[in-house]
């Protein structure tokens, strides 16, 4: 499947610090034993290859069950203009036609994070069986 990106969400946390050039990894490296950043060699250099985690795009080639050309989907493929998706490896969420695509950026990661925030305490309180 090929997707043409129309919206991408920017993390107000780590991603913004890279854009503002204030991320500590750009100027130091993480010392896991001490739990602190150490001055010296940067832990990350530009270009930062792992940015982007909330995207929305339109299917421009869909050769997988459940997807159609023109369909809007949300997923995680980085801040790129397009993406070649694998039906077996990429989590793509079809979006309702009436949904503003800009709102779809929250589906890629934020909805699963929010769901885990609800399900984890429920499991702690009630056990693993559905309540």
- The two tokens of residue 111 are 């909805």
Distance between CA 8 and CA 39 in Å, rounded?
33
pLDDT tens across 85-106, in order?
Answer: 988 888 899 999 999 999 998 8
- Residue 50, exposed/middle/buried by CB under 10 A (0-12, 13-18, 19+)? exposed
Q: How many CB atoms lie within 10 A of CB 3?
A: 27
Is the pLDDT score of 108 beyond 80? no
pLDDT at 39: 92
Specify the residue for token string 């694998």.
86
SS3 58: strand
Spell out the domain ranges in the chain. Answer: 2-126
Q: What Rg do the C-alpha atoms of the chain give, in angstroms?
A: 18
Q: How many CB atoms lie within 10 A of CB 63?
A: 10
Kind and range of the H or E run holding 112: helix 110-126
């Amino acid at each position: 499947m090929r997707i043409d990106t129309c919206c991408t969400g920017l993390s107000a946390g780590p991603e913004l610090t890279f854009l503002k050039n204030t991320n500590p990894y750009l100027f130091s490296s993480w010392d896991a034993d001490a739990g602190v950043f150490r001055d010296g060699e940067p832990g990350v250099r530009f270009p930062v290859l792992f940015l982007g985690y909330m995207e929305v795009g339109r299917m421009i080639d869909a050769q997988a069950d459940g997807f159609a050309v023109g369909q809007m989907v949300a997923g995680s493929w980085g801040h790129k203009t397009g993406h070649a998706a694998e039906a077996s490896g990429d989590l793509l969420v079809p979006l309702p036609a009436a949904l503003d695509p800009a709102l779809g950026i929250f589906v890629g990661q934020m909805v699963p994070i929010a769901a885990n925030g609800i399900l984890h305490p429920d499991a702690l309180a009630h056990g693993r069986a559905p309540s």
